[in-house]
Amino acid sequence: MPEDTVGIDLGVLTFVQDSDGRSVGRLDFSDERKRLEREQRSLSRKQYESNNWETQRRRVATVHARMSNKKRDYKHKLAHYYTTEYEAVFVEDLNVKSMLEASGNARNKAEVGWRNFSTILKHHGRKNECHVIEVEPSGTTKECASCGVETEKPLWVREHSCPSCGFELERDWNAALNIQSRGLENLGVVHSEATPVETATAVDTSEVSARRVVEAGSPALKESPKATSRAG
């Protein structure tokens, strides 16, 4: 039975919020977008299918490729981290989640990224012998991780503040804790020694930038002794 488990909430504003309090940002593509605009503008001024046009078309393609490599690299590093650091990783079942959540341009784009990350996560799970388990996503945001009472929460409400038991936590962290509890239930673990909520209140959220993940290869703030011993 896995002891080290984590729930991951995939979000629109931040890419990942996990039940251990890590909030991992989205990649910043502002430089690449500027460059892309410039190269595309230049392409539009070239004579169609001329040699110059062809050279410029390749430049545009290079920027696109750089952006998708950066995304891919980022997701692989995150997936590697979670599947080596934990014995079980719980995520929401995206086939169900997509039907529940309101659609919109930002969300549709985010969803493509979530599906892709979920696939990468499962791949690393198999490789690193970590269970990657999908859980029922309905109500993970509304539900209080401490007492289970549901409260309506529009997207702009970033804090979970339970009217019933008074439990307060960042919105997505609360959701990640619910995802973790559901995953543990799926595995047949009903009572663990420390409930996720007790662990959560003991630490602060640590925000990790996407850039850090890309550069350091993981969202860990310090080199974890656990990760080191498993690697070695």
CB 164 to Zn ion: min, Å:
5
* Whether residue 172 lies in the annotated active site: yes
Q: For the chain, what is the radius of gyration of the CA atoms? A: 20
Single out the segment in contact with Zn ion by CB under 5 A; choices: 34-42, 63-71, 137-145, 206-214.
137-145
Among 17, 118, 141, 146, binds Zn ion (CB under 5 A): 146
Size of the site for Zn ion (CB under 5 A): 8
Looking at beta carbons only, is 161 or 224 nearer to Zn ion?
161
Q: How far is the CB of 149 from Zn ion (least distance, A)?
A: 5
Helix, coil or strand: residue 134: strand
Which range in 10-18, 136-144, 169-177, 215-223 contacts Zn ion by CB under 5 A?
136-144
- Comparison of 114 and 167: residue with beta carbon closer to Zn ion: 167
Residues 147-166 that bind Zn ion (CB under 5 A): 147, 149, 162, 164-165
Question: Cβ distance 117 to 97 under 8 Å?
Answer: no
CA–CA gap between residue 162 and residue 20 (Å, rounded)? 20
Give 108's contacts (C-beta < 8 A, 6+ positions apart).
none
- The dihedral built from the CA positions of residue 232, 220, 31 and 75, taken in this order, carries a sign that is positive
Per the annotation, the verdict on 159 as an active-site residue is: no
- Distances 101 to 95, 154, 178, 181 between C-alpha atoms, Å: 11, 11, 17, 21
Of 85, 92, 134, 170, the catalytic one is: 92
Q: How far is the CB of 169 from Zn ion (least distance, A)?
A: 10
Question: Any catalytic annotation for residue 92?
Answer: yes
* Helices and strands (H, E) in the chain, number of each type: 8, 8
The one catalytic residue in 9, 20, 39, 85 is: 9
Nearer to Zn ion (CB atom), residue 125 or residue 196 = 196
79 binds Zn ion (CB under 5 A): no
Cα distances from 23 to residues 35, 42, 102, in angstroms, run: 29, 39, 23
The residue range among 15-23, 41-49, 146-154, 170-178 that interacts with Zn ion, by the rule CB under 5 A, is 146-154
144 binding Zn ion? (CB under 5 A): yes
Task: Give the whole-angstrom CA distance, residue 79 versus residue 77.
Answer: 5
Residue list 162-191, contact with Zn ion (CB under 5 A):
162, 164-165, 167
CB atoms within 10 A of CB 68: 10
Rounded Cα gap, residues 152 and 174, in angstroms: 14
Residue 201 in the binding site for Zn ion (CB under 5 A): no
Beta strands at 131-135 and 16-18: parallel, antiparallel or unpaired: unpaired
Residues of the shown chain interacting with Zn ion in the complex, contacts defined by CB under 5 A: 144, 146-147, 149, 162, 164-165, 167
Q: Could you give the residue numbers annotated as active site?
A: 9, 92, 172
